[in-house]
Amino acid sequence: MRPYFLCLLAEACMATGRFDDGLSALAEALTAADEHKIRHYEAEMHRLKGELLLKQSNSKASDAQSCFQRAIAVARKQSGKSLELRATMSLSRLLDKQGRRDEARAMLAGRQGAAGRISRIATGAGGACAVQNAGRIIGKGGSFARNAGRR
């Protein structure tokens, strides 16, 4: 359970602008997960690390991208669809900010079958934002944008 709580701490640090502390908490979480073979939250740890790196400095975008890609790979290996979707959304937002909209669009278009899952997973303001971002990246004419709001 310790890695999970350290991830919560890292999220709190990110929300309060304490990025170095958040990265330290995640380093400790990853170490604890390795030592105790706790893998169920590993994908989210990598995704959070990528988000923290981006918040810390835009110059760390390539490191953040690596974190998101690793999170996606781990989630796929574990069949963690919601964690895979979160990491895919993080990576697509990064690609979109870098002007690589076609790559972001292709990545999300490949997840069109997940459009319904995105709207079910998305709860609260942050979730609604995720659905809107995905729809914006795909474009108004894409089927993702049409299906994302359906439940």
Task: Quick: pLDDT tens for 101-117.
Answer: 988 888 888 765 554 55
pLDDT band at 52 (very low <50, low <70, confident <90, very high): very high
Environment class of residue 143 by beta-carbon count within 10 Å: exposed (0-12), middle (13-18) or buried (19+)? exposed
How far apart CA 23 and CA 44 sit, in angstroms, is 13
pTM: 0.74
Q: Sketch the domain layout of the chain as residue ranges.
A: 2-98
Residue 131 has pLDDT above 70, yes or no: no
pLDDT of 122 reads 47
CATH architecture of 2-98: Alpha Horseshoe (1.25)
Between 103 and 144, whose confidence is greater?
103
